């Protein structure tokens, strides 16, 4: 379990807090998506969950962040990184730049843990298979396309089997089916390892399908916290930069002209939209 109690954080050299009185508890085995406009505090919250705030970014932190009951500010980053994996938005920042092949890059973190060679080889192979990058094993990590590099960056963190996985827009450069594969892989590993997954993601269709919980942020505070079906259909949140899927938008417009049943919740996934529009058309046909 990871827990924030009344956390307020201000970056060094700034006066306005990036996070304001955040309280949030995420249990093991939960996939939690962070949504909100740019500048709402999503990345800062992700860095705080991963211990990079305050260990790496310094600044002024009040309140308490605990991981498995232990305050992260009292735990050295070198220890935190063993249990928390952070995947950056830009994969170029994740790749070590010191390894000649993708296979070596993914093994890098495990080498540092001193993992025995056979176990390491098996772990690297399994992780490459999970992310569908076996064919890149002998390529240079620096000579990949943006999306390929993003998969390698994700694999290098997943290979460590962290207890908490924090992903900052992990699929920003991935093709659509590739994005879904990465979400599926993360979800599968989460179930297997009872991980906590916290993900910043603008692709709301996949947030709706994969996340157990959606936390919406604006101006450094939590403005909504609940299931995707509630948060992503809340009309009051649209103006606050949360956005909506085309399914929700289409159903909302259809409802205005009586083509979506009043009692039917607005959809956030394809399946919910198909069901809702079927019901409305059956009613229309009497």
Partner 1 sequence: MTNDDRLTTADKDIDICVDSLFFTYPSGVEALRQVSLHIAAGESVALIGQNGAGKTTLVKHLNGLLKPTAGSVRIADWDTRHRSVAQLARQVGYVFQNPDDQLFKPTVLAEVMFGPQNLGWEAGRVEDQARAALRMVELSQAANRHPYDLSPGERKRVALAAILAMDTPVIVLDEPTTGQDFAGVRLVGLIVDALIAQGKTVITITHDIDFCAEHFERVVVMAGGRLLIDGSSRVVLSQAEILAQTYVEPPQLMRLASRLGMEWMPLTVDEFIKQLPGS
One residue of 113, 175, 226, 235 binding partner 1 per CB under 8 A: 175
CB of 282 to partner 1, least distance (A): 9
CB of 246 to partner 1, least distance (A): 4
Interacting residues with partner 1 between 112 and 131 (CB under 8 A) = none
Residue 172 within binding range of partner 1, rule CB under 8 A:
yes
Please give the angle made by the CA atoms of 153, 205 and 147, to the nearest 5 degrees.
25
CB of 40 to partner 1, least distance (A): 8
CB-based burial label for 49 (10 Å; 0-12, 13-18, 19+) = buried
Residue 257 within binding range of partner 1, rule CB under 8 A:
yes
Token pair in block for residue 164: 């908490």
DSSP string, 104-150: HHHHHHHHHHT--HHHHHHHHHHHHHHTT-GGGTTS-GGGS-HHHHH
Burial pattern 55-94, b for ≥16 Cβ within 10 A else e, equals beeeeebeeebbbeeeebeebeeeebbebbbbbbbebeeb
Residue 36 within binding range of partner 1, rule CB under 8 A:
yes
**Which of 57/92 has CB closer to partner 1?**
92
One residue of 106, 144, 218, 222 binding partner 1 per CB under 8 A: 144
Residue 245 within binding range of partner 1, rule CB under 8 A:
yes
Cα R_g (the chain), whole angstroms: 20
Q: What is the DSSP letter of 245?
A: -
CB of 147 to partner 1, least distance (A): 3
Which residue matches tokens 């070198």?
A: 78
One residue of 29, 59, 63, 241 binding partner 1 per CB under 8 A: 241
Residue 145 within binding range of partner 1, rule CB under 8 A:
yes
Q: What is the DSSP letter of 101?
A: S
Residue 281 within binding range of partner 1, rule CB under 8 A:
yes
Residue 235 within binding range of partner 1, rule CB under 8 A:
no
For residues 185 and 180, give the distance between their C-alpha atoms in angstroms, rounded to a whole number: 9
One residue of 15, 16, 38, 236 binding partner 1 per CB under 8 A: 38
Residue 210 within binding range of partner 1, rule CB under 8 A:
no
Binding mask 147-166 for partner 1 (x = CB under 8 A): xx------------------
Residue 285 within binding range of partner 1, rule CB under 8 A:
yes
Helix (H, G, I), strand (E, B) or coil at 51: coil
**Which of 192/285 has CB closer to partner 1?**
285
φ, ψ of residue 115 in degrees (nearest 5) = -70, 140
Token pair in block for residue 218: 């604006």
Residue 277 within binding range of partner 1, rule CB under 8 A:
yes
One residue of 6, 73, 249, 265 binding partner 1 per CB under 8 A: 249
CB-based burial label for 135 (10 Å; 0-12, 13-18, 19+) = exposed
Q: How many residues bind partner 1 (CB under 8 A)?
A: 47
280, 262 in Cβ contact below 8 A?
no
**Interacting residues with partner 1 (CB under 8 A):** 36-39, 89-90, 92, 140, 143-148, 169, 172-179, 202, 205, 241-243, 245-247, 249-250, 253-254, 257-259, 270, 273-274, 277-278, 280-281, 284-285
């Amino acid at each position: 379990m990871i827990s924030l109690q009344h956390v307020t954080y201000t970056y060094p050299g700034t006066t306005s807090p990036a996070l304001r009185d955040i309280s949030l508890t995420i249990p093991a085995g939960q996939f939690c998506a962070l949504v909100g406009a740019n500048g709402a505090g999503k990345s800062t919250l992700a860095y705080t969950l991963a211990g990079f705030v305050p260990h790496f970014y310094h600044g002024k932190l009040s309140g308490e962040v605990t991981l498995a009951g232990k305050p992260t500010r009292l735990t050295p980053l070198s220890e935190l990184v063993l249990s928390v994996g952070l995947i950056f938005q830009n994969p170029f920042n994740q790749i070590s730049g010191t390894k000649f092949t993708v296979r070596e890059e993914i093994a890098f973190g495990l080498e540092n843990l001193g993992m025995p060679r056979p176990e390491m080889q098996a772990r690297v192979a399994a992780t490459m298979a999970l992310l569908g990058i076996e064919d890149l094993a002998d390529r240079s990590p620096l000579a990949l396309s943006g999306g390929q590099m993003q998969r390698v960056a994700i694999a290098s963190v997943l290979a460590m089997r962290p207890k908490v996985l924090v992903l900052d827009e992990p699929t920003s450069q991935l093709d659509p089916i590739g994005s879904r594969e990465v979400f599926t892989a993360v979800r599968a590993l989460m179930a297997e390892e009872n991980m906590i997954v916290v993900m910043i993601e603008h692709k709301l269709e996949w947030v709706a399908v994969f996340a157990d919980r959606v936390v919406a942020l604006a101006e450094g505070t939590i403005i909504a916290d609940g299931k995707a079906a509630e948060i992503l259909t809340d009309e009051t949140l649209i103006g606050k930069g949360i956005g909506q899927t085309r399914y929700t938008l289409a159903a909302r417009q259809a409802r205005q002209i009586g083509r979506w049943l009043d009692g039917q919740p607005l959809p956030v996934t394809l399946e919910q939209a198909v069901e809702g529009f079927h019901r409305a058309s059956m009613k229309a046909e009497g």
